[in-house]
Amino acid sequence: MKWIQIIIQIFILYGFSFIGEMIHRALHLLIPGNVLGLLLLLLCLSLKLFKLDWIEQGAGFLIAFLPLLFVPSMVGIMNYPTLLSKQGILLFIIIVISTVITAIVAGHASQLLEKGKRKRKDEQQA
């Protein structure tokens, strides 16, 4: 039963991606369809039109397999050793800097969200 639930949740996530792609094609926007789908999902979750429980296990399943999606790109990079020898140091520096910036921004965002959650909880208790 759990696997059927996960499959249904993955189809729901795919549905949001598909709707985002249809919006992208219909309105000829510069934002990719899958990003529009994620924004639509975020909007539905924020407005409580959609419950997190409806997609949580399916999203967790997809995230567990996310590293496998990077393997083909790494193999592709290994086919071009000249790219790494000429610009490898520059690429490495860019990757390190962008990773640090991402970690800092994600940390600050999670702290901000946690403060807001704590504030709402304190207001409800008062």
- Measured distance CA(95)–CA(109) in Å, rounded: 21
pLDDT at residue number 100: 93
> CB within 8 A of 50, min separation 6: which ones?
41, 44
Q: Please tell me the predicted confidence (pLDDT) of residue 89.
A: 80
Token pair belonging to 118: 């704590």
Render 71-124 in DSSP notation, one character per residue. HHHHHHHHT-HHHHHHHHHHHHHHHHHHHHHHHHHHHHHHHHHHHHHHHHHHHH
pLDDT tens digits, 48-59: 898 888 999 999
pLDDT band at 83 (very low <50, low <70, confident <90, very high): low
Residue-level length of the chain: 126
Question: What integer pLDDT is reported at residue 24 of this predicted model?
Answer: 94
Among the residue ranges 30-34, 58-62, 65-69, 106-110, the one predicted with the least confidence is 65-69
Domain boundaries, the chain: 1-64, 74-126
